[in-house]
Amino acid sequence: MSGAAPPPGRSAVVCGIGSYVPPNKVTNDDLSRRLDTSDAWIRSRTGIAERYMVSPGTATSDLAVEAGQRALKSASTEQVDAVVLATTTPDQPCPATAPAVAARLGLGHVAAFDVAAVCSGFLYGLATASGLIASGMAERVLLVAADAFTTIVDPEDRTTAVIFADGAGAVVLRAGDAGEPGAVGPLVLGSDGELSHLIEVPAGGSRQRSAGTAPEPGDQYFRMLGRDTYRHAVERMTATSKEAAERAGWRLDDVDRFAAHQANARILDSVAERLGVPAERSSATSSRWATPGPPRSRCSSPSPRPTAGSRPGTGCCSPRSAAGSPGGPRRSSGPKHSPSDAHRRRAVPPQDPYAAPRVRLPKGIVMMLEQLKEILSNKLKVSPEAITPEATRDDIELDSLAVVELSLLLKSELDIDVSDDDLLEAETVADMVELMETRSAKV
């Protein structure tokens, strides 16, 4: 692959799309039969109802080929100049999986290589493929994001086994003009290597192998610190979405479609709310497809057609965050979700005649209780009647991720720093208010 100097204004334009999930559907009830969990627990914490998993012997390349074929057909082409495959689960450590995908697609000896950036893989692949086109190195590029992610997930760990799935998504990019429908707009990339411990597979790399010792049990599986990952994802996806819109010269009101990485419905709801994006402009599909790593960025629609409400020229902001932690959004003009069960309005707990006596707060912090009530009821959808000083976190149904969200809201709404660890130690609403009062006094 080689190229001449590109003309001014040359840009990558999306001209074909495709996606694929394996036929093996796994529902929440299926998982409940072997894990200590339930459909209600999974839905309330992730918004996921079902997911698709590979059968024994199915590899990442099998998924990638299916999605690639559909993208090429959508683009009405049989040839590209390069294949970029974003994956965390290559068929084997060496060689790369992309050349095998290219060969099976009948693309000959085109340039083909893998990109590894976990959940941000599609975005990094898009930046790479767009760069090949913008530089004149390629006229057309097939970008595929594919993962058999369940092959690295501990099947007995309910915190990850319920979230991750398998699948592939693909786009064909062609050389075009930056101003035409389907053109890829500004991309915002970044990373924070100090957070690599949040999401990792400890074993299997050169560090573990060079140590000359066998991996610890479970180290071959994907691990995630859920609360810390949630906080980082919400903060980074919100900030980089704003940056991408600013680089594009858009106001957030100009965004027609908010198609974020579908990691968790609660993360999406939180980011969309911070950006002021209404539900009808948010493309959320994690309830049906769960999270197949990088492909989630392109599996928002399982068909080769654009998702409902999108069309050529639609302004789309597509943020994501991932292990390492690379991440950032893209802005493109390319070819309903309802709130998750976790954001439903909580019911008022039944009155208990044996309950502890009502707690009386000092007059000086009654106003802080009202501020907390406003956040809990308006942002986290807790019934106002349930929020009493003596109410426990269980009474108002604040799970660990809701506590992280509360910590973020206290900072953004009231400029009060209270960590989610401290909030988890607070037994009652009164304890939370006292924490708020203590932290605000230090400001």
- Per-residue pLDDT tens over the stretch 424-435: 999 999 999 999
CB neighbourhood size of 243 (10 A) = 17
How many Cα atoms occupy the beta-carbon half-sphere of 226 within 13 Å?
A: 17
Q: 64 and 79: one domain?
A: yes
DSSP 72-91: HHHTT-S--SEEEEE-SS-S
- Of the candidates 415, 83, 302, the residue with the CA atom closest to the CA atom of residue 436: 415
Q: 299 and 356: one domain?
A: no
pLDDT at 386: 94
pLDDT at 342: 38
Answer with the one of 286, 317, 341 that is the final residue of a domain: 341
Identity of the amino acid at 389: P
Q: Could you identify the residue written with the tokens 């001449």?
A: 4
The DSSP output letter for 11 is E
- Of the candidates 225, 226, 201, the residue with the CA atom closest to the CA atom of residue 215: 201
| pLDDT band, very low/low/confident/very high, at 211 (cuts 50, 70, 90) | very high
In DSSP terms, 190 is beta-bridged to 327
Q: Would 38 be classed as within a structural domain? A: yes
Kindly report, residue by residue over 267-283, the tens digit of the pLDDT. Answer: 888 888 899 888 778 76
DSSP 365-388: GHHHHHHHHHHHHHTS---GGG--
Q: 283 and 383: one domain?
A: no
Distance between CA atoms of residues 317 and 270, nearest Å:
15
What region, left, alpha or beta, does residue 260 occupy, with left being phi > 0 and alpha being psi -120 to 50 degrees?
Answer: beta
What percentage of the chain has pLDDT greater than the value 70? 78
Kindly report, residue by residue over 216-258, the tens digit of the pLDDT. Answer: 999 999 999 989 999 999 999 999 999 998 998 888 888 888 8
C-alpha dist (Å) from residue 364 to 27, 368, 416, 433: 50, 8, 17, 11
| pLDDT band, very low/low/confident/very high, at 316 (cuts 50, 70, 90) | low
Kindly report, residue by residue over 90-105, the tens digit of the pLDDT. Answer: 999 999 999 999 999 9
Answer with the one of 323, 341, 359 that is the final residue of a domain: 341
**pTM of whole model > 0.85?**
no
Which residue has better confidence, 252 or 166? 166
Answer with the one of 341, 361, 393 that is the final residue of a domain: 341
User: CA 157, 160, 164: angle at the middle one, nearest 5?
Assistant: 130
Q: Would 210 be classed as within a structural domain? A: no
Kindly report, residue by residue over 7-47, the tens digit of the pLDDT. Answer: 667 999 999 999 999 999 999 999 999 999 999 989 888 88
Domain count, the chain: 2
Q: Would 362 be classed as within a structural domain? A: yes
Q: 337 and 349: one domain?
A: no
Backbone angles phi, psi at 200, to 5 degrees: -160, 160
Backbone angles phi, psi at 137, to 5 degrees: -70, -25
Worst-scoring range by mean pLDDT, 176-190, 353-367, 376-390? 353-367
Q: Would 5 be classed as within a structural domain? A: no
Distance between CA atoms of residues 348 and 345, nearest Å:
9
Distance between CA atoms of residues 242 and 251, nearest Å:
9
Q: Could you identify the residue written with the tokens 């057609």?
A: 305
| pLDDT band, very low/low/confident/very high, at 321 (cuts 50, 70, 90) | low
Cα pseudo-dihedral 271, 273, 277, 282, rounded to 10: 60
CATH of residue 242's domain is: 3.40.47.10
Average pLDDT, the chain: 84
Q: 253 and 387: one domain?
A: no
Stretch (H or E) spanning 43: helix 39-46
Residue 308 CB partners (closer than 8 Å, separation 6+): 336
CATH of residue 434's domain is: 1.10.1200.10
Q: Would 213 be classed as within a structural domain? A: no
Q: Would 2 be classed as within a structural domain? A: no
Strands 50-53, 24-27: pairing is antiparallel
In contact, 129 and 273? CB cutoff 8 Å: no
pLDDT at 307: 43
- Average pLDDT for residues 414-431, to the nearest whole number? 94
Q: Would 166 be classed as within a structural domain? A: yes
pLDDT at 4: 53
The DSSP output letter for 418 is -
What region, left, alpha or beta, does residue 223 occupy, with left being phi > 0 and alpha being psi -120 to 50 degrees?
Answer: beta
Q: 334 and 370: one domain?
A: no
How many Cα atoms occupy the beta-carbon half-sphere of 319 within 13 Å?
A: 27
Identity of the amino acid at 148: A
Q: In 3-state terms, what secondary structure has residue 126?
A: helix
- Average pLDDT for residues 111-125, to the nearest whole number? 95
Can you give the residue range of the structural domain that contains 164?
A: 10-201+219-341
